[in-house]
């Protein structure tokens, strides 16, 4: 039964009808997996064919008004001046001490119009921070429940959208406006799986009809609806950071190795002084991948030890890789750790051998 305390997506009834396993995800009741094979089957569909994800729980916000892009650029970490209208960019909302309130995608519509896609749990805080900082003439709108979002991911994603007459030839990290059966929405060349794919930002009330059409089109390629369980295994194979795991108020972009998402040449953004100082001094810990060579599946917070038994860090994300058929993890380890080091992960009191490596664990196909 639906928990009345949880928010639901515009596709909730469809997930229930499909028999999806539902769970609380950042205050939203969302599908974790579907019957008939679960996470592994859905993961494989995305790697080999195509999968559809309901990610309507993700936040949506709009910053508009004269100079909106410059305002956002003074707040968020990445440099919006590096992209042009019609492009998207991964960025960070940081604290004064360099921690991360959230990581998000910013879509530059024009100098006066920026669309933001934060994580579900952090949307209200990010919107409030921007609203509190906004000068007169800049409007910050929380549009969390104005739009649904459907991710179409996998090698056959282009064919699925083409079957619906939707645009597909724009490059990675760009977006175009489109229309389908009279409903306007945005087709973004973004995703969180490491595969070629798209995210459709659809008016809330039109999301169901678009999902139904996508399901029909994807079915011709043996595509599947996919839950957030396979979304997590897919992103972990890529080494993509997840807020609350690889990034947090206590884990900075420098430590998480996402310094590429920081506009270091900018004069101003939230957390700049702290991050510049940490970068110059050198972080005392860094994020790495761990490829399990023993038997066991690492989980978040498992202790990681060197070969001599001393503690070197902890697992931030860990799972079974359906592609590699073995355990993998992301971990925050002491700065003197090097690629190729042999370590031991404490998995429920049992030592599991692993090798330090740089993600991704499998080849990325996003472009």
Residue-wise pLDDT tens digits, 16-69: 999 999 999 999 999 999 999 999 999 999 999 999 999 999 999 999 999 999
Residue 216 has pLDDT above 90, yes or no: yes
Average pLDDT over residues 324-344: 98
Quickly name the fold that domain 7-59+145-237 has. Answer: Gyrase A; domain 2 (3.30.1360)
Residue-wise pLDDT tens digits, 109-132: 999 999 999 999 999 999 999 999
Confidence of residue 367 (pLDDT cuts 50, 70, 90): confident
Residue 179 tokens read as 């229309």
Q: Distance between CA atoms of 204 and 8, rounded to whole angstroms?
A: 12
Confidence of residue 233 (pLDDT cuts 50, 70, 90): very high
Residue 1 has pLDDT above 70, yes or no: no
Average pLDDT over residues 162-184: 96
Residue-wise pLDDT tens digits, 66-76: 999 999 999 99
Confidence of residue 257 (pLDDT cuts 50, 70, 90): very high
Look at residues 152, 219, 220 and name the one whose alpha carbon lies nearest to residue 187: 152
Residue-wise pLDDT tens digits, 273-329: 999 999 999 999 999 999 999 999 999 999 999 989 999 999 999 999 999 999 999
E strand or H helix at 105: strand 100-110
CATH superfamily of 61-142: Aminomethyltransferase beta-barrel domains (3.30.70.1400)
Cα angle: 36, vertex 41, 43; to 5 degrees: 140
* pLDDT at residue 2 in the model: 58
Average pLDDT over residues 187-210: 98
Q: What is the overall mean pLDDT for the chain?
A: 97
Contacts of 255 (CB under 8 A, 6+ apart): 283, 285, 286, 287, 332
pLDDT above 90 covers what percent of the chain? Answer: 98
Quickly name the fold that domain 284-358 has. Answer: Elongation Factor Tu (Ef-tu); domain 3 (2.40.30)
Domain boundaries, the chain: 7-59+145-237, 61-142, 284-358
């Amino acid at each position: 039964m639906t928990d009345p305390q949880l928010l639901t997506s515009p596709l909730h009834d469809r997930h229930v009808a499909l028999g999806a396993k539902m769970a609380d995800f950042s205050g939203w009741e969302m599908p974790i997996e579907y019957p008939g094979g679960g996470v592994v089957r859905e993961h494989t569909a995305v790697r080999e064919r195509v999968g559809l994800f309901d990610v309507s729980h993700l936040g949506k916000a709009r910053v508009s008004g004269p100079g909106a892009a410059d305002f956002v650029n003074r707040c968020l970490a990445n440099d919006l001046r590096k992209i042009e209208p019609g492009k998207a960019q991964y960025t960070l909302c940081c604290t004064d001490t360099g921690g991360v309130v959230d990581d998000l995608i910013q879509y530059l519509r024009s100098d006066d119009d920026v669309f933001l896609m934060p994580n579900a749990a952090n949307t209200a805080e990010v919107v409030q921070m921007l609203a509190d900082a906004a000068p007169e003439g800049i409007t910050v709108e929380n549009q969390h429940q104005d739009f649904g979002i459907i991710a179409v991911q996998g090698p056959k994603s282009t064919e699925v959208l083409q079957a619906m007459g939707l645009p597909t030839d724009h490059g990675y990290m760009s977006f175009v406006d489109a229309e389908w059966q009279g409903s306007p929405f945005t087709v973004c060349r973004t995703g969180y799986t490491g595969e070629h794919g798209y995210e459709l930002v659809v008016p809330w009330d039109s999301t169901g009809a678009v999902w139904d059409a996508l399901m029909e089109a994807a079915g011709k390629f043996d595509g599947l609806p996919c839950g957030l369980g396979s979304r997590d295994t897919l992103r972990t194979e890529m080494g993509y950071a997840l807020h609350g795991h690889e990034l947090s108020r206590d884990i900075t972009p420098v430590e998480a190795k996402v310094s590429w998402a920081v506009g270091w040449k900018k004069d101003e953004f939230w957390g700049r002084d702290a991050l510049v100082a940490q970068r110059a001094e050198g972080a005392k810990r860094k994020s790495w991948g761990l490829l399990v060579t023993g038997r066991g599946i690492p989980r978040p917070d498992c202790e990681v030890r060197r070969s001599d038994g001393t503690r070197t860090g902890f697992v931030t994300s860990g799972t079974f890789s359906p592609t590699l058929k073995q355990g993998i993890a992301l971990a925050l380890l002491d700065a003197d750790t090097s690629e190729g080091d042999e370590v031991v992960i404490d998995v429920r009191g049992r030592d599991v051998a692993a090798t330090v490596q740089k993600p991704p664990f499998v080849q990325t196909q996003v472009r």
